[in-house]
Amino acid sequence: MSWRSCPPRGAEGAVRPATHTMRCAAAHGARPQAASRRTLRLLAGLAVWLSLGLPATRHWLEADMSLHMLVQLPLLAWTGWQLGRALPAPLARRLAPWNLQGISGLLLASLVMAFWMLPIALDAATEAPSAALAKFLSLPLLLGLPCALSWPLAGFVTRGVFLVELIATLFRSGWLYLASPVRLCTSYLLDAQQSTGAGLLVAGGLVLALLVLRLLVGPLRKTADSDRRADPAHRES
């Protein structure tokens, strides 16, 4: 928004020139701040992505199944989320028609998330360089990035379905890894597999608790705001 995009108001709802000028100045100054935030998000995402790709970091995280699934995979998805938040608004608006109400993006993210929680996918990522490259590209670009672009477009129902599927996937995978009496991943021992299963169950419980807390606190906060607005003493102040 430039200074010319803030024309003076007409007679109806006229605003004093000084107030109108201050609003235009605030809107004009918000653009560099938004650009700076986008740049910081992009740099943060790239820095974490490059750090995860270092041989020493990869070896350390992929040597333990719990670190591989509960640390490395979410961090790779987080880098894509930062990339999505860093996209310029005009580009995000051009992509929006292909992602009606965020459904397409969240569906794609759910499929990619489910794939990389399979034992065969973890084994391939630790043994084949091509699979490792696919992991480092697909999790940011096909999971984190679509989530960042889709979440603002999604409504209450779409978000709820995605979160319920996320919780169900964590519980299913956690129970599978924890209860299986045999090794499902040839790259990891049985005790590491069981520890990962327990960690997935804990992660699913935490997401469920946060979702329930959000559903409970939201209506309470709205009720408190409504009561405060209806209070005569508040209106007089």
DSSP string over 22-80:
HHHHHHHHHHHHHHHHHHHHHHHHHHHHHHHHSHHHHHHHHTSHHHIIIIIHHHHHHHH
Looking at per-residue pLDDT, the higher value among 26 and 110 belongs to 110
Residue 151 is predicted with a pLDDT of 94
In order of 95, 145, 184, 234, the CA distances from 150 in angstroms are 10, 9, 33, 38
Residue 52 in tokens: 């995860």
Q: Is residue 176 over pLDDT 90?
A: yes
Q: Predicted confidence band at 88 (pLDDT cuts at 50, 70, 90)? A: confident
pLDDT-based confidence at residue 231 (cuts at 50, 70, 90) = low
pTM of the entire predicted model: 0.78
- Cα separation, 213 vs 228, whole angstroms: 22
Report which of residues 194 and 223 the model is more confident about.
Answer: 194
113 within 8 A of 147, measured Cβ to Cβ: no
Report for 32-36, 40-44, 174-178: range of highest mean pLDDT: 174-178
Whole-number CA gyration radius for the chain = 23
Stretch 166-180: mean pLDDT: 95
The answer, yes or no, to whether residue 14 has pLDDT greater than 90, is no
State the pLDDT at residue 1. Answer: 45
